[in-house]
Amino acid sequence: MLQRKLAGRLVSEIGLGCMNLNHAYAKKVDQATATSLLTKAFEAGVTHFDTAALYGFGSNEKMVGEAIKPFRQDIFLASKCGMTGVNGKRTIDGHPATLKATLDTALTSLQTDHIDLYYLHRIDPDVPVEESVGTLGDMVKAGKIGAVGLSEVSAETLRKAHGEYPIAALQTEYSLWTRNAEIAVLDACKDLGVDFVAFSPLARGYLAGGVDPASMGEGDIRKGMPRFQGDNWAANQQLYADFASLAASADITPAQLAMAWVLAQGEHIHALPGTSSEAHLIEDLQASGLQLPPELLVKADELINRQTVKGARYPAGAQADIDTEDFADE
């Protein structure tokens, strides 16, 4: 597994997002399955693991904490605050007291005395980002976290927050079919020396194949996403068929081509796929270090991009909670 620098430390260029274990998708795994998956990832070279207070409304951090216990000191652990589950509902709260309490709970759940990278998961419109970030900076000084990150924010917000306390990393969705980061955030990260973590590099499974909206169970967030619905999905299916043929021409899987494309977009970019399948995990990790012809990546870029993909990234309600830039035609 090749490595890249994240928050001042060398970590695997492909990490593992742990949300899929028990949040946002219909399939949920038990502790034994989660422990086996995370152990397999570590043995395969993954040293970057990512969770959040929101996932499973707190249970994901507990699951991850138990799974990584034997190798906690050998990995880079990231989690998030500012968005949690309160009385069964997702709640965005960036007030200092809430962030401090969320962090203390996370440390207990993760069975650790520090978290290497702690993101503000969403911007609370009722709390200046400087206030939230300043609180996290205090937690760095207290030794509870190693570095501060932001999730799903605009370049303007990143610069504002960075002026209050150094932001080590920014995490947002980025893949062939979601290009919003290319508007301004990727350049802002490069200018400020902020590492970029691309979640959903496989487009929520679309670029890995085998996705069927008709068979998605209750609680699968993709059912509410326009790209997986109706005529949009029919058009996107045809795009995927062409993409799969392109990958086959290079004797790699579509998932590996998609991951390689993300990693090729900059040395400050990390890929953070998520899965509950050990087979998919190993397939994804094999994208590290692939030496692909530049023209293959160009063809992938030309085939799947914001002009060719049909449908909005999020439904209106979810879109309202994020701070990322939009294209003029979205």
- Contact by Cβ (8 Å): 65, 109: yes
Question: What backbone phi and psi angles, to 5 degrees, belong to 83?
Answer: -145, 115
From the CB of residue 49, how many other CB atoms can be counted at a distance below 10 Å?
27
If 0-12 CB within 10 Å is exposed, 13-18 middle and 19+ buried, where does residue 80 land? buried
Residue with tokens 């274990």: 21
Q: Which residues contact 8 (CB under 8 A, 6 or more apart)?
A: 147, 168
Q: Which residues are catalytic?
A: 55
Helix, strand or coil, per DSSP, at residue 279: helix
Helix (H, G, I), strand (E, B) or coil at 13: coil
Q: Are 189 and 268 in contact (CB under 8 A)?
A: yes
Contact 168, 194 (CB under 8 A): yes
With b for 16 or more beta-carbon neighbours within 10 A and e for fewer, the 207-239 pattern comes to bbeebeeeebeeebbbeebebbbeebbeebeeb
On the 0-12 / 13-18 / 19+ scale of CB atoms within 10 A, 13 is buried
Beta bridge partners, 145, equal 115
Contact 21, 47 (CB under 8 A): no
Six token digits for residue 294: 């530049």
Listed as own residue / partner, the contacts of 208-217 with beta carbons closer than 8 Å and 24 or more positions apart are 208/253, 208/254, 208/255, 208/258, 208/280, 208/283, 208/284, 209/240, 209/244, 209/253, 209/254, 209/255, 216/26, 217/26, 217/27
